[in-house]
Structures are given as structure tokens and as C-alpha cells.
Amino acid sequence: MQAQRKTIAIIGGGPAGSTLATLLARKGHKVGIYHLPKRPPLIVGESLLPAVIPILRLLGVEEEIKSFSTFKPGATICLDDDHHLAFGFDEARTASEYAYNVPRDKFDATILKAAEAAGARIFHHRAVVEKDEATGKVSLDENTIAAAEGFFKNGVDLIVDASGRSRYLPGFLQLEAEEGERKDTALFAHMENVTIEDEGHIHVDLHEKGWGWRIPLPGRVSVGVVVHPDHLKSLGGTKEEQFDTFIKMDPMMREQTKDAKRISPVLSYNNYQWKSKQLFGNGWALVGDTGGFIDPVFSTGLFLAMDSGVKLAAALEAGTLEAMEKYQHDFQAELYSWQSIISNWYNGKLPALFEMKKHLDRHIFGRIMNLFVARHVTRIFTGEIPSGSFSHKLLHFMFKHGIRGEVDYKEYAVV
Ligand SMILES: Cc1cc2nc3c(=O)[nH]c(=O)nc-3n(C[C@H](O)[C@H](O)[C@H](O)COP(=O)(O)OP(=O)(O)OC[C@H]3O[C@@H](n4cnc5c(N)ncnc54)[C@H](O)[C@@H]3O)c2cc1C
């Protein structure tokens, strides 16, 4: 039996909204996207995980994205000047052995274009909603409907909020949410001539204060630092002063950027760790970052956002309450699962596990163990470590029992 065709309004044409729109339009649903493009000179979120590749293929956009991106064969963790750990994605032995580092403006434009090609209509207008206090039903306001030039004249079955970190509907509906423990500020800019140890890899660096990323892009490197705001305040009054002073003061960064030049303004992000307790309600649903975002450290954002688009499309196609409950459950389970891994980066256990490798390599049993663990740990960097998987359980077993006397995990905690 064919599922009922629906009319769906999506707020936001970022990666989550565009993925959802493409898949729904292909199934014959009537889809309109209200899209207000981001206007900052740079858009954060440039490192993709291999787990995204099957979604890019599903959307039919991989070749175009490849044409303007940097090939990414792995990830490198720098604990200090002497400890660089490189993970090739092929070590994970999973479906995707590579990813890309992407200029986000071009990436977002490509995904949105795919939605339009699939039949979704794009309206360049800020969407505004209103709520019927008697029924609790959410609908588009009069101006928003007018901006769609008759497209929604017969009504809208569902409003999907894909507004990203601006979290439009959760704010409007005052949805209950859980904030993350970290209150860091992320500063980021593009630079030229930054040292990159392993070609194409994202580099995640543990600094004396906080941590940072180096993402090689065509002709430039995206450099980010994630630091407690009190420390940043002590470095200067503006974002630019704070960023420039940080990279001069941190010993590892000073070396990495000794011949480098910043070629963009500095952008700042905070309060990004957030999970909504509810992902759908009367006439509405959330997809992507507006539903939840954990942390930038392992580049999970775009994968989880686009994957939630795939999951929500399947639930809407099924058209049942059970399917929507499953969508909510599965998206939230992924967010919690990643949160549990990421907290072991911040408390030092994950870096300590990497450090244990050296000690285990001294014995034949340890070397075999290392090979086995490396395969599963690498799946963190490919994004293929779903909640409840064997890799996930093994990792947590290792956090609990695998770090022994000679390595003190607290020394690797992010401060
Ligand atoms: C510091 C930091 C670093 C990150 N680094 C990475 C990384 O390396 N790799 C990675 O995968 N992820 C990264 N992320 C996360 C990534 O940026 C997000 O997960 C991703 O952009 C989410 O996609 P989205 O479609 O949900 O939202 P968005 O990309 O934010 O798109 C939402 C869109 O909706 C539009 N919009 C909002 N309100 C309205 C409205 N009322 N009407 C119309 N349009 C509206 C916005 O303008 C925007 O275009 C990082 C995040 C942070 C904070």
C-alpha cells in the first residue's frame, strides 16, 4: 500500500534539511524549504567522516563534492610534540575508507541543489511559526505562507525544523533540553602555510589549555581552538587577539603555525552542547543540530545531522506514530552514545588508551591486542561505531580496564 503523500515545510536548508527534503521529494511528497543562507565569511563544520560517504552517494552528490574538496584518508591525534598517532580509515575495515574535508559554503549549496533537483521548492525567506493555544498545533504564520507564493495554499501536514544551532522551534516551544557539561568556546579561522604532518588528515591536537583542530582544505587550513572562555579572556579583548595570542603562546601551535598567516576573520561558537528531550509533537518534528549536537572533537556533527535526515525521511514515509517514536529513540541513542565516547576524550581516558599502546607493544600478546583494539578505536574516526555495537562495548571495556598503572589518564585530561 502506498504511503499517503504529505505536504511538508522545512525550516532551514542546511545539510539536515536538504537531505530530508531530497529523500521526501523523491518519494513524491510535496516539500518546500525556507532557506536563509548563513552569512558569515566561513561556516564551521568542514571535516566529514567516512560514515557520511554512503549518504552522499544516496543523494547523488559525491562526485561534485569530491571536485572541490580535500581527500581525507585518516585522522591524526597529536598528544604533544613527540606523540602523533595517525589512524588510516582503512584500519577500521568498514565500508568507507575515506572522507573529504569540505568548504562548507560549496558543500551546503551542492546538497541544497540536490533537494531542488529532486523536486523540493526553495523559498528564500525566514520562516516564522505560531501556535494554536487551544490545540497546541504549530503552523506557519501568514507572511511565511505568503512567501511560498501559493505552494502551501492547501495547508501543511508537517513543519520540520532544521534550523541548526539557532534551534528555532525548541526556543519557540520552550522544549525541555539537556545541556552538555563543557562550556568551552571554539574560535576558528582559515590560515595559509600551517604544518600538516599527515596529508589530508584532520589533526586533533591536545594543547596545554584546551584542544584544537587543523583541517586541510584546498589552498588553506582551517584552524580551530576549543578553550575555556576564562582563559581566552586573559588573552585579549577581541576574538582575533585571543586567537592570535593563543597560537603564539601554546608551544605546539607556535611550532605548527611558525610560517603561517591568518587569511580570514575569526569566528566564535559557544553553548553548542545540547540535546532536545522531544524530537516531534503536534504538527512538527526536529532534524539535525536543532534536535541535538554533542561536540566538535570527532567531527560527528554533519554525519549525525544528515543521518537524522535519512532516519526522519524513513519515519515519515512509514507514516505511523511507532515510526516517529523509533526515529526519536534512534537519533537520541546515537547522541548519547557519542557523548559517552567524547566524555572519555575530555577526561583523558581516550588519549591514555592511545598511550597504553606503546606499553602493550612490548609483549607479543600486547601487540596482538593492539592490532585488534586499533581496528575498533579507528571506528571512532570513521563514525562507524553505532550505539550498542561490539566496537562501542569494547571501547568502554578498555576505558574501564585497559588503562593501567604506568599511564595516568588524568595527565591527558583537557583543561
Ligand atoms: C565549533 C564547531 C566545529 C564543528 N566542526 C565540525 C566538523 O569538523 N565536522 C562536522 O561534521 N561537523 C562539525 N560541526 C557541526 C556542524 O557544523 C553541524 O552539525 C551541521 O552544520 C548541522 O547541520 P544542520 O543542517 O542541522 O544545521 P545548519 O548547518 O546550522 O543549517 C541550518 C540552516 O537553517 C537556516 N535557518 C535557521 N533558522 C531559519 C529560519 N527561521 N528560516 C529559514 N532558515 C533558517 C540557517 O541559516 C542555516 O542555513 C561543528 C560545530 C561546531 C560548533
Ligand 1 pocket residue status of 343, Cβ below 6 Å: no
Q: 39 alpha carbon to ligand 1 midpoint, in Å?
A: 12
Ligand 1 atom at minimum distance from 302 CA: 11
Whose cell is 574516526? That residue is 381
Q: In the numeric block, which cell numbers belong to residue 261?
A: 598567516
pLDDT value of position 298: 95
pLDDT value of position 1: 36
Q: What is the mean pLDDT of residues 69-90?
A: 92
Provide the pLDDT confidence category of residue 355 given band limits of 50, 70 and 90.
confident
Which tens digit of pLDDT belongs to each residue from 98-127?
999 999 999 999 999 999 999 999 999 999
Q: What is the mean pLDDT of residues 135-147?
A: 95
Q: What is the mean pLDDT of residues 288-292?
A: 98
d(CA 302, CA 288): 8
Provide the pLDDT confidence category of residue 243 given band limits of 50, 70 and 90.
very high
CA distances (Å), origin 352, targets 85, 358, 369, 378? 12, 10, 16, 15
Provide the pLDDT confidence category of residue 354 given band limits of 50, 70 and 90.
confident
Answer yes or no: is pLDDT of 161 > 70: yes
Instruction: Provide the edge-to-edge strand list for the sheet that holds 177-179.
Output: 177-179, 274-276, 292-293
pLDDT value of position 386: 85
Ligand 1 atom at minimum distance from 293 CA: 19
Q: Which of 48-52, 68-72, 191-195, 385-389 has the lowest mean pLDDT?
A: 385-389
Which tens digit of pLDDT belongs to each residue from 7-18?
999 999 999 999
Q: What is the DSSP string of 278-299?
A: -SEETTEEE-GGGTEE--TTTT
Q: How many CB atoms lie within 10 A of CB 17?
A: 31
Whose cell is 586533533? That residue is 204
Q: How many CB atoms lie within 10 A of CB 173?
A: 19
Whose cell is 589549555? That residue is 209
Q: In the numeric block, which cell numbers belong to residue 166?
A: 539557532
Provide the pLDDT confidence category of residue 90 given band limits of 50, 70 and 90.
very high
pLDDT value of position 3: 55
Q: 18, 19, 123, 163: which to mutate for ligand 1, most atoms within 8 A of CB?
A: 163
Q: 276 alpha carbon to ligand 1 midpoint, in Å?
A: 16
pLDDT value of position 398: 86
Q: To 5 degrees, how large is the angle CA 72–CA 225–CA 111?
A: 45
pLDDT value of position 373: 76
Ligand 1 pocket residue status of 16, Cβ below 6 Å: yes
Question: Which residue has a Cα nearest atom 27 of ligand 1?
Answer: 164
pLDDT value of position 313: 98
Q: 95 alpha carbon to ligand 1 midpoint, in Å?
A: 26
Q: 135 alpha carbon to ligand 1 midpoint, in Å?
A: 31
Answer yes or no: is pLDDT of 199 > 50: yes
Answer yes or no: is pLDDT of 38 > 90: no
- Assigned CATH topology for domain 7-68+103-178+273-340: FAD/NAD(P)-binding domain (3.50.50)
Partnered with residue 192 across adjacent β-strands are 261
Q: In the numeric block, which cell numbers belong to residue 237?
A: 579583548
Instruction: Provide the edge-to-edge strand list for the sheet that holds 30-34.
Output: 121-123, 30-34, 7-11, 158-161, 284-286, 280-281
pLDDT value of position 370: 74
- Assigned CATH topology for domain 185-270: D-Amino Acid Oxidase; Chain A, domain 2 (3.30.9)
Cα of 302 vs its chain's centroid, Å: 4
Ligand 1 pocket residue status of 299, Cβ below 6 Å: yes
Q: 302 alpha carbon to ligand 1 midpoint, in Å?
A: 8
Q: What is the mean pLDDT of residues 244-255?
A: 95
Provide the pLDDT confidence category of residue 46 given band limits of 50, 70 and 90.
very high
CATH 3.30.9.100 residue ranges for the chain: 185-270
Q: What whole-number percentage of the chain has pLDDT above 70?
A: 99
231, 255 contact by CB (below 8 A): no
Q: 113 alpha carbon to ligand 1 midpoint, in Å?
A: 17
Q: 397 alpha carbon to ligand 1 midpoint, in Å?
A: 33
Q: Which of 32-41, 135-144, 211-220, 225-234 has the lowest mean pLDDT?
A: 32-41
Which tens digit of pLDDT belongs to each residue from 210-226?
999 999 999 999 999 99
d(CA 164, CA 162): 6
Q: 166, 185, 232: which to mutate for ligand 1, most atoms within 8 A of CB?
A: 166
CATH 3.50.50.60 residue ranges for the chain: 7-68+103-178+273-340
Q: Which of 45-59, 63-77, 292-306, 391-405 has the lowest mean pLDDT?
A: 391-405
Ligand 1 pocket residue status of 126, Cβ below 6 Å: yes
d(CA 178, CA 274): 6
Q: 259 alpha carbon to ligand 1 midpoint, in Å?
A: 31
